[in-house]
Structure formats: structure tokens, C-alpha cells
Structure 1
Amino acid sequence: MAKEQPLSSVHNAIRILQEFSDERPMMGVSELSERLGLAKSTVHRLLCTLRETGLVRQDGHSHKYRLGIGMFVIGSVFYRSAELRVKAFPILVDLMQRVRRIVRLGIYDYGSVVYLCKLPEDKETRTFSSIGTRVPCHCTAVGKLLLAFQSSEEIMRVLSLPLKARTSNTITDKDELLEQLQHIRAVRYALTWEESRYDVCSLAVPVYDESQQVTAALSITGSKSQFLPTQVQEFLGTLRMFSRLITEQLDGIE
């Protein structure tokens, strides 16, 4: 397979953004053109696009550019995700020691789940997914929990895409999945039985931020032999208690 070539316009737009720094917080078209070796017309067009998206803003007097509020928003998402992992990690260690199962913390990302934490992270449990792994929302407890709390528009966008079956238990019928998401939103937990992998079951609850919005999901995962139906209510109570502990830690994130 031929190697995909990066889009030169996207690459150059990123180069422009990377030129701004504490030493050079504001620059004009000519300065950026000289520093990057790009034509002034190219730099001007890219800056206009970046300005429209809020990633840069133009000073009304000097007509030079500086980073815009859009960059702050993007950086804040990364910062809060990083802080979430740092704040939650010791709590996840305590949870893992209490339940003796795999525990994970995941966030929503455009129809997928990205795992920020997973314990224990060793060869024996790596098959259950690792930190940074991106998996579809429709077949995991964390994913369905997070998807249930997205906007109606985002839910319908995800449901309009093909729902790939990972096992014979994966829900691929869109109406059935929508009904389940509505139930998850009502009861505020999600439970899956062999929907992503055979012999793997998982239970997830929401983690709330300081404004009581769902910001992540916390889960317990194990094999069927480690995840008996009679244990679900006990696990659920434990997960909710540890979710509250994480939320309390998030109250300190500015």
C-alpha cells in the first residue's frame, strides 16, 4: 500500500500555529512568510481560515495575528483529560484492589472511547484493551454509557454509521441500540455481556465534572467466571462510590 501523503495546507497551517510562542506572541503575514519560507499569499489564505475557526485572531490596530480562543479550548480539553487521569489514578488503584477486577477510565471521542487509565496494565490483561486504545462506542459498557449522555444529534450521527458486530452478542440494530441508550441514561449505568469480546463482561457508571456533566466513565471488566450476575448490584454500588471520589477530585481542577 502506498504511503499516504499529508495535506500540505493542513501541514502549513499547523506550522503557522507552532510559530507563536511567549517570545513571539504576535506576528504578521510578512514575518510568518519569511520564517516559514511560504508565499505571502499562501500565509494570508491560511491565516484567514484559522481566523474563521477561532484558532488565531487579528489585532485591529497592527493587523498582526496572535493565537485565538479556539487554541485555548483545544488545550483545555487536553489539559482536563491529562488532569483527569492524574487525579483518578490513585482512586483506580484502590478500586482495583477492592474488586480484584480490571478497572478502566474512558472518555468519549467522536463515536469512540479512548481509555485514559487501565489497571492492572500487564500482559495477562492487555487483551482487554490498553491505555490510549480507541474502540467503538456501541459494543462496550464505557462506550454505551458515554454515548447515552451525548446530544441527540451526536447519538443519531453515530447510529447512522455501520455498527460492526464484534461477537454474536453485539447490538447492530440501530433501533434496539437507541432504546438501550435511553435506558442507560435513565438508570445511569451500562452493562455488557460478551458484546466486544467473548468471555468478557463489563459494568460502567458515569463520572461527573464540577458542573455535574458526564465527563468520563468508570468500569469494571472481567471474564464471565469473574462477573456473576449476582455480583452486579454489589459492583454497581462500589463503582458509584469510587466515581463520586473522582468527581470530588475534579472539583479542584480550574
Structure 2
Amino acid sequence: MEENKSNVRAVERALDILLCFNEKSEWAMTEIAEKVNLHKSTVHRMLATLEDRGFVTRDALSDRYRLGIRIWELSTHLSTSDDPAVMLLPEMERLRDMLGETISLYIRDGSERIRIQAVQSNQAVRRVAPVGARLPLYVGASSKVLIAFGGEHALRQLLDSADWPETIDKEAYAEQISQIRQSGYATSIEEREPGAAAVAAPIFNRAGRLAAALSVSGPSGRLTLEKMREQVPILIDTAKRMGTMLLEE
């Protein structure tokens, strides 16, 4: 029994190391050890095993680690038949061409939102949205959409979270969420990132359940509140069309 527990713990540690690459593409061994809170010798042994199996690769010059080819080999076997990140990409590209700004798709994961797909704007000055980024749920247009249409439990859980920032008034936030439910969309201007603005709408699947948040984002100097309100009908129409493409859960 103890041996089984040890084996499971080793797997958990190896997965924690791999998950570090969600945040950035390259890591030094000491950085990983600090991130996952493990001794350097333990991390070194695990990295050596992962490297031997092709899951990570080490740059001999910089002595930094990156994801290996085996990760990409595995990803080619992912089913794309019901993957919204793949299925909705053509509609996202169409929306980008119509509005000229960066388009992103977000889902909720616990106390965070994850960008699972993005189509970058073709404009010289644009908002770059890396896929896989994890962002807080209490700020940003997409976050507010995921909370507003994710059920009362989602709102209560967020407001009661120990991570809730003291600088944000809970009553004002709850009132804003109520208004978003009525209007069907959310906006944000420099809430999370200086110089950035976004407008987002919910995507509901065929069963009427919230599937994701669809957002348009760009520089706040170009994507003004007035401009975002002009884009809302197109955004909501696209989100509804996307929803018809998603199967019931």
C-alpha cells in the first residue's frame, strides 16, 4: 500500500512539473523546484526521466527546459469532434475579420478562467492573447460573463473566496453581475491590464448551459465603450450561432 502511495505521489509531482509550462515556455531547474516546492535533487531526477521519455527537452547552452516532442505527438490524438476550441475557430476568425480586433474564447476552471482559443487581430497595434493563459475571475469582461451566467453558486463562491481583493467592493460587484445578466454582455476597460479593453458575451450550448465566454479585446484607445456597444449585436449573434454548434452535455 505504501509503495502504491509513493508511486502515485511521484506521478503527481511529475505532472506538477509539466503544468509549470502553462505559465511560460522555458524554465530553469531551480525555478521549477521553487514553483512546485520540491527539493532540487528531486526535481532534477524527475526532469531527467521526463527528458529521457521525450516529454521535456533541455537546452545545453542555457540549461533551461522546454516541452518535448512527445507532448505534441500526444496532442495530435486529441478528439476534435466536440472540442469547442477547434470547432468554433472558423467563427472566431470570421468575427475577427468583421470587427478587426483580437477574439478569445474562455472557460471557467475553479477560481480562474482559461483562454482555450484566440485569434489575433491583424492590426499593427493589437492585443496579444496567448492560448492557455490563466486569469483571475474577479476582473475582466470574460470573467464577469462566466460568473454572471454560471449560476448563483459561482458568484457566491467567488465572493467568499479568500483570494478576493480588498480593493473591489463586493456589493458593487454583485450589482454589476446582476446588470450583466440583464444586458447579456459585459465590458471592461483597463480592469486587469493598463491600456486594454474588452467586451464579452456568453455562449450557451444546445441544452442552454453556459459553455464559454466569447470576447473581443483591443487597445482601450481604439476599443472605447461606445465602440464596444456598437459591436455587441454582432458579438451576441456570433455567440448564439456558436452555441448551436455545441452538443448538449
Q: Find the aligned partners of 1:81 and 1:208 in 2 and give their Cα distance.
A: 18
Match of 2:22 in 1: none
Among 167, 176, 200, the alignment partner of 1:180 is 176
Match of 2:199 in 1: 203
Match of 2:96 in 1: 96
Q: Which runs of 5+ in 2 are unaligned?
A: 13-77
Q: Find the aligned partners of 2:8 and 2:150 in 1 and give their Cα distance.
A: 29
Per the alignment, in what secondary structure is the counterpart of residue 225 of structure 1?
coil
The amino acid that maps onto 1:113 is R
Conserved in 2, the CA contact under 8 Å of 1:121 and 1:130? no
Q: Find the aligned partners of 2:173 and 2:130 in 1 and give their Cα distance.
A: 25
Conserved in 2, the CA contact under 8 Å of 1:188 and 1:206? yes
Match of 1:159 in 2: 159
Match of 2:237 in 1: 241
Per the alignment, in what secondary structure is the counterpart of residue 98 of structure 1?
helix
The amino acid that maps onto 2:147 is L
Match of 1:34 in 2: none
Q: Which runs of 5+ in 1 are unaligned?
A: 1-6, 15-77, 166-170
Q: Find the aligned partners of 1:114 and 1:81 in 2 and give their Cα distance.
A: 20
The amino acid that maps onto 1:201 is A
Per the alignment, in what secondary structure is the counterpart of residue 221 of structure 2?
helix
Q: 1:121 to 1:99 in 2, by over 3 A?
A: closer
Whether 2:162 is the aligned partner of 1:193: answer no
How far 1:202 sits from its partner (Å)? 0.5
Q: 1:183 to 1:9 in 2, by over 3 A?
A: farther
Match of 2:56 in 1: none
Conserved in 2, the CA contact under 8 Å of 1:111 and 1:147? no
Q: Find the aligned partners of 1:81 and 1:126 in 2 and give their Cα distance.
A: 31
Conserved in 2, the CA contact under 8 Å of 1:106 and 1:117? yes
How far 1:126 sits from its partner (Å)? 8.9
Match of 1:85 in 2: 85
Say which one has the larger Rg: 1
How far 1:127 sits from its partner (Å)? 6.5
Match of 2:246 in 1: 250
Match of 2:214 in 1: 218
TM-score by length of 2: 0.63
After TM superposition, the structure 1 = structure 2 runs for residues 101-112 of structure 1, keeping only pairs within 5 Å, are 101-112=101-112
Per the alignment, in what secondary structure is the counterpart of residue 94 of structure 1?
helix
Q: Find the aligned partners of 1:8 and 1:125 in 2 and give their Cα distance.
A: 51
Provide the alpha-carbon RMSD of the alignment. Answer: 3.1
How far 1:150 sits from its partner (Å)? 2.4
Conserved in 2, the CA contact under 8 Å of 1:103 and 1:219? yes
The amino acid that maps onto 1:197 is E
